[in-house]
């Protein structure tokens, strides 16, 4: 899959009173450059918009929906931020190379990486085709590795940076019909911990966020009434709640001493994991 651009160069939006106030309270993130993969919808969209509102310049990566990605860019610009949409399949090394090249050419560097892109191919293990296994591993695990590797190359030279990998509660406790997904998400947690130990001395933090059942197109066809009964908080989470946690780990000064963690945001369904 090739790389493309949506919206061209990014322009500053008109400053409104609310934006001016926001700038005063979030100067810590002004000028930071963030890449969010799989950012055209769902959790990725919420993360990209939250980082944009925090003052980051955001690269909105997407695989298929240019229109949806452009809407995210427009939302970030409307809040006074900078954004650029870049098409690319992060399971392909050439697309990842081009994604980071486009980011550096437009914004000069990479300060924050949020590895969010992912898919599901659910079925019981005895019926799972090799293609269903491989597609999930390629995007949900190898894609994280490829982007993380490129980000680390840049951040090591700067001696600073923050990486947040989106895992899942399924990577901690498993789930029937999701052997491929659970394996990939568990691998993301292991990758997070190992990388955190490798790069910590260079001022880089690497953390994972493990959402539970979140309101999105990935959960809308599930038996939600039964699922809610298993969640201590008795509801699904929202993309905005996940985005708030990611924003904290990616931008807040008080998160600077957190690394190698897999932070659950699951309504309590994974208690004890």
Annotated ligand binding at 181? The verdict is: yes
Annotated ligand binding at 66? The verdict is: no
Q: Are the C-beta atoms of 143 and 188 separated by less than 8 Å?
A: no
Widest distance between CA atoms in the chain: 58
Annotated ligand binding at 48? The verdict is: no
Rounded CA-CA distance 166/150 in Å is 17
Annotated ligand binding at 229? The verdict is: no
Q: Are the C-beta atoms of 192 and 206 separated by less than 8 Å?
A: yes
Q: Which of 62, 145, 181, 257 is catalytic?
A: 181
Q: Is 181 an annotated catalytic residue?
A: yes
Rounded CA-CA distance 36/21 in Å is 25
Element (H, E) at 164: strand 161-166
Annotated ligand binding at 185? The verdict is: yes
> Which token pair is 147?
């982007």
Annotated ligand binding at 40? The verdict is: yes
Annotated ligand binding at 39? The verdict is: yes
Annotated ligand binding at 79? The verdict is: no
Could you count the other beta carbons within 10 Å of the beta carbon of residue 18?
10
Which of 185, 166, 169, 160 is closest to 251 using CA atoms? 160
Binding site for NADP(+): which residues? 38-41, 116, 181-185, 214
Binding-site annotation: residue ranges: 38-41, 116, 181-185, 214
Active site residues: 181
């Amino acid at each position: 899959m090739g790389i493309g651009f949506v919206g061209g160069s990014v322009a500053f939006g008109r400053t409104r009173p609310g934006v001016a106030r926001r700038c005063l309270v979030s100067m810590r993130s002004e000028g930071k450059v963030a890449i969010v993969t799989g950012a055209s919808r769902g959790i990725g969209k919420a993360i990209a918009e939250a980082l944009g509102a925090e003052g980051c310049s955001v690269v909105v990566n997407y695989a298929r929906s240019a229109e949806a990605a452009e809407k995210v860019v427009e939302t970030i610009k409307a809040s006074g931020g900078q954004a650029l949409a870049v098409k690319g399949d992060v399971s392909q090394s050439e697309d990842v190379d081009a994604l980071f090249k486009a980011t550096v050419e437009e914004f000069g560097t990479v300060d924050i990486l949020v590895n969010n892109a992912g898919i599901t191919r659910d079925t019981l293990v005895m019926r799972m085709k090799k293609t269903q296994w491989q597609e999930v591993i390629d995007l949900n695990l190898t894609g994280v590795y490829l982007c993380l590797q490129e980000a680390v190359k840049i951040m090591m030279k700067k001696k600073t940076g923050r990486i947040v990998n989106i895992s899942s509660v399924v990577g901690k406790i498993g789930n029937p019909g999701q052997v491929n997904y659970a394996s990939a998400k568990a691998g993301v947690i292991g990758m997070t911990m190992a990388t955190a130990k490798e790069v910590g001395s260079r001022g880089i933090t690497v953390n994972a966020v493990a959402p539970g059942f979140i309101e999105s197109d990935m959960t809308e066809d599930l038996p939600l009434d039964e699922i809610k009964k298993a969640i201590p908080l008795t509801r699904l989470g929202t993309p905005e709640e996940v985005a708030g946690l990611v924003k904290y780990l990616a931008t807040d000064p008080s998160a600077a001493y957190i690394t190698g963690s897999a932070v659950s945001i699951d309504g309590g369904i994974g208690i004890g994991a």
